[in-house]
Amino acid sequence: MPTLSWVQRLYRRLIVTSSQQCPELSENARRYVADNFVLMLVSRFFSKLADALSNPKIVLPWVMETVHAPLYLLGFLVPIRESGSLIPQVVIAGYVRRLTIRKWVWVVGKLVEVLAMTGVALVAWLGQGAVAGWSILLLLVVFSLARGFCSVASKDVTGKTIAKSARGQTNGWSASSAGLVTLVLGGGFVAVGGEELTAASVAILLGAAVILWSLAALAFSRLHEFPGEAETAEIHPIKESWQRLALLGRDRPFRHFVITRALLLCSALTAPYYVILAQKAYGTQPQLLGLFILASGSASLVSSPIWGRFSDHSSRRVMMAGAGMTLVLGMVVFFVDRVAPQWLASLWLLPGCYFLLSIAHQGVRIGRKTYVVNLGKGNQRTDYVAVSNTLIGVVLLLLGFSGALTSFVGLSSLILLLSLMGGAGMFMARRLPDVE
């Protein structure tokens, strides 16, 4: 029996299958299934860890506060980062399908992300005020568009290089390992203590993310991808996109789901305001940033398997539960800020609320992903995902203007207003048909 390489031993230890059990892959790809699994695992690990270091709900709001950017710009961080990659995906996919080798789309997209985040790090180090804030948003637009190319290419390359029975496990192993490292990172900030984080310290944090994305691109470039089928017919992505949008008019359950999903954006949109509220009440000490990172990572590790199991029984109820939690948390934070604002200066209160908010967001996220997959079948499911992603991207951009309300109502009031969306989303989700 031939001696197995360390790559093959690792693959067999982590995945319960063999390279011969991959009928969905080409004959050439089957020879490299173990190598591609390890490379994809490494690439996604570095990429997810870099995402954690530049989290738009925690780290980027911290950057904006550090450079003293106008508060109204804060509301655009999450919408721009998400919508820039969601809105153009329908159009991007039409052009990516023309390529026989698609891994380079991902690599180039990741390198553009590296350049954009390098710019953000330099602004964090050298910039101040409104100019710095607007510069960060502009660079975030570039970053987000590049992320959209990576998203489309990643799915195609994964289908060509990773065995079907190992795709979910690849995501699971990379997310789990990155989550554990994120917890260690957060614990490190908590343990360091000391003075407030300077602009240079935050820039170094983003610089570490840049290095990790570069390593991810290097690992992805080494994948053994062989030429596959390419689209040869004339493509009209924009025309096809408009045709898909007609689904909203004729498909009532899908239209109801899109409205519900738009209202459930509350769990993502309120998150940056928890961070800024904590900064204003407590300061910018490393312990506070570490606690928020710990809250985010631990919430994902603890709650995701539970929400996933619950979603298999009723994804509609999972969305309701996540929306309800977001509403209650928003009411609690608003009440504390009005009645006992000194409590907000506690090191644990707002990070603890953020932990619960992150659990709620995981429920909303897993519930709506499960629901849309179960709602449609075949190509209908593909259209559901493409149309809903594009529309939600547009809604996110529009909701970015909510940050301007902080000049009139204050942070806690804005948290309450956005959380009330959760109440409306909970009501809408209750009226959705069960699809499990």
Report the range of poorest mean pLDDT among 25-29, 133-137, 168-172, 398-402. 168-172
Dist. CA 177–CA 185, nearest whole Å: 12
Using the Cα atoms of residue 36, residue 46, residue 143 and residue 260 in order, give the sign of their dihedral. Answer: positive
Which of these, 159, 166, 224, 223, lies nearest to 14 by C-alpha position? 166
Q: What 3-state class would DSSP assign to 431? A: coil
Supply 143's token pair. 């970053």
Q: Are 355 and 299 in contact (CB under 8 A)?
A: yes
If DSSP states are collapsed to H, E and C, what string results for 71-132? HHHHHHHHHHHHHHHHCCHHHHHHHHCCCCCCHHHHHHHHHHHHHHHHHHHHHHHHCCHHHH
Residue with tokens 């179960």: 374
- Of 231 and 307, more confident: 307
pLDDT, tens only, 252-300: 888 999 999 999 998 888 988 898 888 888 776 777 878 888 888 788 7
Long-range contacts, stretch 131-138, CB < 8 angstroms, 24+ apart: 132/67, 132/68, 132/69, 133/64, 133/67, 133/69, 133/70, 133/73, 134/69, 134/73, 136/60, 136/63, 136/64, 136/67, 136/69, 136/73, 137/73, 137/76, 137/77, 137/80
Report field, pTM of the whole predicted structure over 0.85: no
Burial (CB count within 10 angstroms: exposed 0-12, middle 13-18, buried 19+), residue 222? middle
pLDDT, tens only, 336-392: 999 988 888 887 899 999 999 989 988 898 888 778 767 866 556 657 766 787 788
* Mean pLDDT to the nearest integer, 12-17: 61
Q: Are 171 and 29 in contact (CB under 8 A)?
A: no
With a cut of 90, say whether residue 329 has pLDDT above it: yes
* Mean pLDDT to the nearest integer, 39-51: 84
Dist. CA 341–CA 257, nearest whole Å: 38
- Of 232 and 394, more confident: 394
Q: Are 116 and 140 in contact (CB under 8 A)?
A: yes
**CA separation (Å) from 16 to 1, 161, 169, 175?**
20, 17, 10, 19
Domains and CATH numbers, the chain: 25-225 (1.20.1250.20), 238-436 (1.20.1250.20)
With a cut of 80, say whether residue 175 has pLDDT above it: no
pLDDT bracket for residue 235 (50, 70, 90): low
* Mean pLDDT to the nearest integer, 409-427: 91
pLDDT bracket for residue 40 (50, 70, 90): confident
Using the Cα atoms of residue 349, residue 350, residue 351 and residue 355 in order, give the sign of their dihedral. Answer: positive
pLDDT bracket for residue 90 (50, 70, 90): low
> Apex CA 155: angle with CA 378 and CA 380, to 5°?
15
- Predicted local distance difference test score (pLDDT) of residue 171: 59
Other CB atoms closer than 10 Å to residue 121's CB: what's the count? 24
- Of 250 and 118, more confident: 118
* Mean pLDDT to the nearest integer, 12-34: 62
With a cut of 60, say whether residue 20 has pLDDT above it: no
pLDDT bracket for residue 59 (50, 70, 90): confident
Residue with tokens 């048909």: 433
- Predicted local distance difference test score (pLDDT) of residue 308: 73
With a cut of 70, say whether residue 7 has pLDDT above it: no
Select the highest-mean-pLDDT range: 24-38, 173-187, 291-305.
Answer: 291-305
- Predicted local distance difference test score (pLDDT) of residue 14: 64
- Predicted local distance difference test score (pLDDT) of residue 19: 44
DSSP letters for 290-356: HHHHHHHHHHHHHHHHHHHHHHHHHHHHHHHHHHHHHHHHHHHHHHHHHH-GGGGGSTTHHHHHHHH
- Predicted local distance difference test score (pLDDT) of residue 379: 54
pLDDT, tens only, 311-323: 778 889 999 999 9
pLDDT bracket for residue 18 (50, 70, 90): very low
Other CB atoms closer than 10 Å to residue 244's CB: what's the count? 16
- Of 210 and 87, more confident: 210
Amino acid at 171: N
Q: What is the percent of the chain where pLDDT is above 70?
A: 77
With a cut of 90, say whether residue 197 has pLDDT above it: no
- Of 6 and 429, more confident: 429
Q: Are 63 and 136 in contact (CB under 8 A)?
A: yes
Q: What average pLDDT does the chain have?
A: 79
DSSP letters for 231-293: --S---HHHHHHHHHTHHHH-HHHHHHHHHHHHTTHHHHSHHHHHHHHHHHH-S-HHHHHHHH
- Predicted local distance difference test score (pLDDT) of residue 234: 59
DSSP letters for 367-413: HHHHHHHHH--HHHHHHHHHHHHHHHHHHHHHHGGGGGGHHHH-HHH
pLDDT bracket for residue 237 (50, 70, 90): low
Amino acid at 26: S
pLDDT bracket for residue 212 (50, 70, 90): very high
